[in-house]
Structure formats: structure tokens, C-alpha cells
Amino acid sequence: MNILVLNGSPRPCDNTAALVDSFTEEARGAGHQVSIFQIGNKDIRGCKKCDACRATLDGNCAQKDDMQEIYPAMRSCEMLVIASPIYYYSLTGQTHCAIERIYAFERLPKLKKAALLLTAGGSGFTSAIQTYKDAVIGHMGAKDLGIVKTVGSQFKSATAQNQIREIVRKI
């Protein structure tokens, strides 16, 4: 399966990246193709609703920012993994902006499955999970393969690793 992972942390080598690395190692080991985009430190703006995309609904967004690198991978992905730290009780701003910009497709054309990987210092997963469930599972019609929530150093825990293994097993 062709898998797209969006890491919404601005820190490329820290907690969320550790979950992404574990997922990627498991998924590649199982023979899947995984593309990772470190979106947390990219120039990704929110949708402006100019509606230029509505003519094709094929990821042709008028905003020429770093989303342009990601649209081709979005066009072909069959599974979307959203990885994000919790910032102020939600996904990071860049993660949310990238989800908004899927508007340029309305729904990803090949998307069948999805998963959510979250890290936090303490609490506040509710809104991030709701956004994922409403936007990716509900609106885009992907099947949820699992949600991993980690607090503090739990991203290294056997529980998190087992949950990731279980997601990959279900692909």
C-alpha cells in the first residue's frame, strides 16, 4: 500500500518523529511504500477559499507554498497517517492547515485507510481526535486503523510500539 505520513511537529527528530519512525520501520518491513513529509516546519498556509481548485478537484491549489510538494503524494496515497504533537489541546497549526488544503481534492482520490499518531506533554487529545474522525474518517471516508496517544516519554513505550504494530498488521 502507498502510505503518506504527515508529521506536524516543527521538531524533525523528537517525540512525534519517534512514533513516525516506528510506524515507518514496521510498515516498510511489511512491504508497504511510505513517504514522510515533515510539515511542521514548512510554509503551509490555510485554505483561502478562492475556489480555483473547484474546476478540477485534483489538488490544483492556487497557493504556491510548500503544499505543492505534498499534493502529488496526496493524489496517489492509499493510506494517510497524521502524526502531530498536541498544541493547545489540538493538532499543530501546520497539521490543521495541511488538512484544510485537502479541500483542493475535496476527498483524496485513492484514500482507503488512515491512522493518527499523537504525542503530548500531559493532556488534550479530544479535539485532535475529533478533527481526525470528522475530517479524515467521516468526510473523506477512510477506514480508521488506529489512534496512538502518548504522554511524555510514552512514545518510546512497549504499549505504543504494540499499537503501531497492530495498525500495520491491519493494513
Ligand X SMILES: Cc1cc2nc3c(=O)[nH]c(=O)nc-3n(C[C@H](O)[C@H](O)[C@H](O)COP(=O)(O)O)c2cc1C
> Which residues form the interface with ligand X (CB under 6 A)?
9, 11, 14-17, 85-89, 119-124
C-alpha of 3 from chain center? 10
- Residue 58, φ and ψ in degrees, nearest 5: -125, 30
Per the CB < 8 A criterion, the answer to whether 79 and 171 are in contact is: yes
Q: State the Cα–Cα distance between residues 7 and 83, nearest whole angstrom.
A: 5
DSSP secondary structure letters along 111-145: --EEEEEEEESS---HHHHHHIIIIIIIIT-PEEE
**Shortest distance (Å) from residue 46 CB to ligand X:** 18
If the CB atoms of residues 31 and 122 are measured against ligand X, the closer one turns out to be: 122
C-alpha cell at 167: 495498525
If the CB atoms of residues 87 and 105 are measured against ligand X, the closer one turns out to be: 87
CA 158, 143, 11: angle at the middle one, nearest 5? 50
CA 139, 11, 79: angle at the middle one, nearest 5? 30
